[in-house]
Structures are given as C-alpha cells and as structure tokens.
Structure 1
Amino acid sequence: MKKIMLVCSAGMSTSLLVTKMNNAAVKKGISAEIFAVSETDAKKHFDNIDVVLLGPQVRYLLNKIEKLLAEKKIPVAVIESINYGTMNGEAVLDQALRLLE
C-alpha cells in the first residue's frame, strides 16, 4: 500500500483533492492511503509515509521538507498548480506514483 501525504496550509483545502485521488486509485486498482495534513502537523507523519506532495500555497516548504526526508529517501514535490486548481485527483495521483518509481 502506497502512503501519500498531502501538505497544505491548514490541511483542509486538500480534503476534496484527497477524495478525488482516492477515487482515482480505486478506479486504477491501486492500494493507497492518501491523507492531508497542515504544515504544522506534517512532521508527525514522516515515519509512516512513502511520498509527500505540497500544495502550491506551501511550496516554500519544499527545500526544508526535502532536507528532513532525504535520509529516509522519501520523495517530495509540489503539486502542479493546474492540477491543484482543477482538483484533478487522477493527475495528482499519477504525479505521486511517478515519484515512487
């Protein structure tokens, strides 16, 4: 099971995106646990994830989180703005899966 964590300012703006990503995962037959957290709660989950995607509004955290997760070799990326803005769960799921390859 792939564990995908989304990080945004308050952990709420990505809840719809999580739902759409979960629907896309089911449709593709992919076993995934996808959840969203606020930037202040992100560190609490670093021991139990496979990939981190940042909402565009917290892209400034990219370098910091990459450094924190480098030793664990957990990939981190910013969600493409167009996919975030249109809540394209399938495209964001695909982005996460590409990072895990």
Structure 2
Amino acid sequence: MTHIVLCCNQGMSTSILVKKMREAATKQGIEVAIDAYPISEIEDKAPDAAVILLGPQVRFELGRVKKLFPNVPAEAVSPQDFGLARGENVLKRAFELIGE
C-alpha cells in the first residue's frame, strides 16, 4: 500500500488536509495510507513513505528531508491547496510525484 507522509510543525495543521485526502482517495477507490507527523519525527516516521509532503510552514526543511530520504520524492504542499484543504489536489500531486 502506498504510504503518503505529511509533515508540519506539530502534526496538527495537516490533520484536516489528511482527512480531505483520505476522503478523496475513498471516493476514487484508491487504497492509500496517509499520515501526518511533526517534522521533528520525520526520521522515525517516514522510512517507508512513498512520498513526503511538507506543510508550507516547514518548507524550509525540504533540503534536509531530501538528504534524509534521497530515494523518496518530497515537496512542499502549495499554500493555496494547504490553506483551503484541497485534499483531491494534494492527493493527485502526491501520486504525480510517485510517478503513478
């Protein structure tokens, strides 16, 4: 199963987006695991991630994330999609990054 990891400061602000992404996946019949964690826990929580998405507030961590997980696509979520909790857009982008 594809594992999408979202990270933000505390793992809280991404919870709404995760819910919307899960709803979009269910609607589309996609089996996926989507989890949100604080950026401070990324080393422990993301080793099995297919893709890592960062909240806009921690986009400055992208370089470090790419060094930690060089074989995992990583990107910051667009501020518009994040702020409006556009789960369908973010889910679509995650699969584009994975190459599916």
CA contact (8 A) 2:6 2:14 kept: yes
Alignment of 1:17-32 (within 5 A): 17-32=17-32
Separation in structure 1 between the aligned mates of residue 64 and residue 42 of structure 2, nearest angstrom = 12
CA contact (8 A) 2:21 2:91 kept: yes
- 1:88: which partner in 2? 86
Aligned length: 99
TM-score by length of 2: 0.96
Q: Percent identity?
A: 39
Deviation at 1:68, TM superposition (A): 1.0
1:11 aligns with 2:8: no
Deviation at 1:45, TM superposition (A): 1.6
Deviation at 1:67, TM superposition (A): 1.0
Deviation at 1:49, TM superposition (A): 1.1
1:78 aligns with 2:66: no
Deviation at 1:46, TM superposition (A): 2.6
- 2:97: which partner in 1? 99
What RMSD over aligned residues (CA atoms) do the two structures have, in Å?
A: 0.7
- My pick for the range that moved more, 77-86 or 40-49, is 40-49
List alignment gaps of at least 5 residues for structure 2.
Answer: none
